[in-house]
Amino acid sequence: MRRIREERDEAAFAELFGHFAPRVKAFLIKSGADAGQAEDVAQDVLVTLWTKAHMFDASRASVATWIFTIARNRRIDVLRKDRRPEPEDLTWGPEPEPDQADAIAFQQEADALGTAIAALPARQRELVERAYYGDLSHAEIAAETGLPLGTIKSRIRLALERLRHVMK
């Protein structure tokens, strides 16, 4: 992402495309899109990754998380044709000089969360996946998710506090 943002490196884009485009397409098909829609939306999502690269904050999100949010928003526009109001932005964008150590620590938290989800009992894991594929209504999502979000949440909270401090 850094090479895309700072150097507009097309080879770096091609690498991310190779990894994420087929996954975004699979995610959209599991969310109810047909192959043609999924192809079009996946291409849009990867192009958006490029045009909004300067808004990515590596101390608060992994690349996978960020791509998920772009894909989710396109899915709402294209498949659900609904609106999803967004929260107010915190500032003029991410911290100007994201700390490499923060970004690496965040990526480790995100990897640990992925491992924890993979290790959930099958039935619970399927419920989480179905929720994100858009299969469950609010009433069907169990109030107690049982997901181990404590550590990743603490890290995001710290990043938000730093951002508030920078803004002052």
Partner 1 sequence: MNDINHHLTDALLMGYSAGTLPEAFSLVVASHISLCDECRARLESFDAVGGAVLERSGRVAMDDGALEACLGRIANADWAPTRTVAKAVGSDLPEPLTSYVGGGLGEVRWRKIGGGVSQAVLKTSKGATARLLHIPAGRQLPDHGHQGTELTLVLKGAFRDEEERFGAGDIEVADQHLTHKPVAEEGEDCICLAATDAPLRFSTMLPRLVQPFFKI
Buried b (16+ CB within 10 A) or exposed e, 81-92: eeeeeeeeeeee
CA distances from 165 to 85, 90, 106 (A): 26, 11, 19
* Nearest distance in Å: CB 166, partner 1: 14
Nearer to partner 1, 83 or 101 (CB): 83
Could you give the 3-state DSSP secondary structure of residue 59? coil
* Nearest distance in Å: CB 101, partner 1: 19
Q: Report the alpha-carbon distance of residue 159 to residue 121 in Å, rounded.
A: 31
* Nearest distance in Å: CB 10, partner 1: 6
Long-range contacts of 110-119 (CB under 8 A, 24+ apart): 110/61, 110/62, 110/64, 110/65, 110/152, 112/151, 112/152, 113/147, 113/148, 113/149, 113/152, 116/147, 116/148, 117/147
Considering CB under 8 A, how many residues would be counted as binding partner 1?
Answer: 85
Residue among 1, 3, 32, 48 that touches partner 1 (CB under 8 A): 48
Nearer to partner 1, 80 or 100 (CB): 80
Could you give the 3-state DSSP secondary structure of residue 141? coil
Nearer to partner 1, 84 or 123 (CB): 84
Residue among 51, 119, 167, 168 that touches partner 1 (CB under 8 A): 51
Tokens for 64, please give them. 């996978």
Map tokens 């594929």 to a residue: 133
Q: Does 41 bind partner 1 (CB under 8 A)?
A: no
Q: Show the site string, 149-168: x = touches partner 1 by CB under 8 A, - = not.
A: x--xxx-xx--xx--x----
Tokens for 34, please give them. 């047909």
- Among positions 16-35, residues that touch partner 1 (CB under 8 A) are 17-18, 21-27, 29-30, 35
Nearer to partner 1, 100 or 160 (CB): 160
- Among positions 58-117, residues that touch partner 1 (CB under 8 A) are 60-62, 64-69, 71-73, 75-76, 80, 82-90, 92-93, 109-110, 113-114, 117
